[in-house]
Structure 1
Amino acid sequence: MTLVKFNNGLKNNAVNPFFNDVFDSILNDSYLGNKLVARVPAVNIAETENEFHIELAVPGLKKEDFKINLDKNVLTVSAEKKAESTDEGKKFSKREYSYSSFTRSFTLPESADHSKIEADYADGILKLIVAKKEEAKFQSREIAVK
């Protein structure tokens, strides 16, 4: 069976129409497309009265894979995972190694308490909780009408 791609006329190369088809198939390959789509994890950032919540979606990792650093007021989260499958006694025609890493940095506001940062990893979600300084917390009070 032969798969035939039809050119809808948007990409018209009068010199060599085969040239476009070859590069379209290479650049639009689903394998390459999936690998290049997500290099950094999705992040949710929320603020409550007493703290900031940062959640990163990073499934398939272990606690030991993460490295969290604080440099001045920049919080950096990075991870590195190497997976290598070895099957002795087999003759391989194709062998794939898996290697993935990412780095995300967040600039913390002046109201963040740098000494009170906690991290927890469960169910593929890395949760960071950054406490606020006491003077930066929302102060609520009732104002009397004169």
Structure 2
Amino acid sequence: MNTRLSLWRPERSISFRDLNNLQRRFDRLWEDVFVPATSEAQTVVDYVPPCDLEETDSHYVVSLDVPGMSKENLHVEVSGENLIITGSRKEERITKKGEPQISERYQGKFFRSMSFPGLTEESKIEAVYKDGVLRVAIPKAPQAKKKAIEIADEKSSFWSKLLGRVEEKRAEKAA
């Protein structure tokens, strides 16, 4: 008899596996809607690691939970305005026989992409992986300083020149 075990928590009426599957479905739906159509995005992903995006005065900071992965299996790149993070973790089993009774750890390939349209300095992006968290710091592009615009009188402005030409053309047509 082959029985699949389920993790039971007395304080919850829904099993952890059900919630985990629901989260995976929402993550895939989210990625399908918001990931740009690139060749990397079209590859099959096995899971989507949880991610936080924070904004400071000078940077955007992306934190991605990928515990148990090696730095060599993580890849961060910039393609146009998109930050693309990919990685993979091989399945680990103690024995080669049978199925695991409970498997909550993610394995396989993942893909995350975020768009930062024209707001970053690509050459200064930094990434660090520590304690199972990949952090990517994306510096914001220097913003143009505010500048007060002097309001000119009508005769010396661009608008008067433009409107004057329009009036001249109307007079020529009328003549």
What interval of TM-score do these two structures reach, taking the shorter chain for normalisation?
0.5 to 0.7
Aligned to 1:52: 60
Q: How far did 1:118 drift? A: 0.4
Please name the residue that 1:41 is paired with: 49
How do 1:13-28 residues align onto structure 2 when only pairs under 5 Å count?
A: none
Give secondary structure in 2 for the equivalent of 1:115: helix
> 1:79: which partner in 2?
87
Three-state SS of the structure 2 residue aligned to 1:64 is: helix
Q: How many residues align?
A: 107
Cα distance 1:31–1:42, how it changes in 2: closer, same or farther (>3 A)?
Answer: closer
Q: Work out the CA distance in 2 between the residues paired with 1:133 and 1:29.
A: 46
With normalisation by structure 1, the TM-score equals 0.59
Q: Structure 1 residues 65, 124: CA separation in 2 closer, same or farther (over 3 Å shift)? A: same
TM-score by length of 2: 0.50
AA aligned opposite 1:40: V
Determine what percentage of the aligned residue pairs are the same residue.
Answer: 27
- Looking at structure 2, the residues matched to 86 and 58 of structure 1 have their Cα atoms a distance apart, in angstroms, of 21
1:105 aligned residue: 113
Q: Pick from 124, 128, 135 the counterpart of residue 132 of structure 2.
A: 124
Q: What is the alpha-carbon distance in structure 1 between the residues aligned to residue 50 and residue 21 of structure 2?
A: 15
Change (3 A) 1:123 1:30: closer
Amino acid at match of 1:64: E
Unmatched runs of 5 consecutive residues or more in structure 1: 1-27, 141-146
CA 1:100 to 1:33, structure 2 compared with 1: closer, same or farther past 3 Å? farther
Structure 1 segments of 4 or more deviating over 6 A?
Answer: none
**TM-superposed deviation, 1:37:** 3.7
- Of the two, which has the highest radius of gyration? 2
In proportion to residue count, which structure has more helix?
A: 2
The structure where strand makes up a greater share of residues is 1
After superposition, give the CA deviation of every residue in 1:27-68 in whole Å (9 maximum; x if it has no partner): x99768746643211111111111111111111111111011
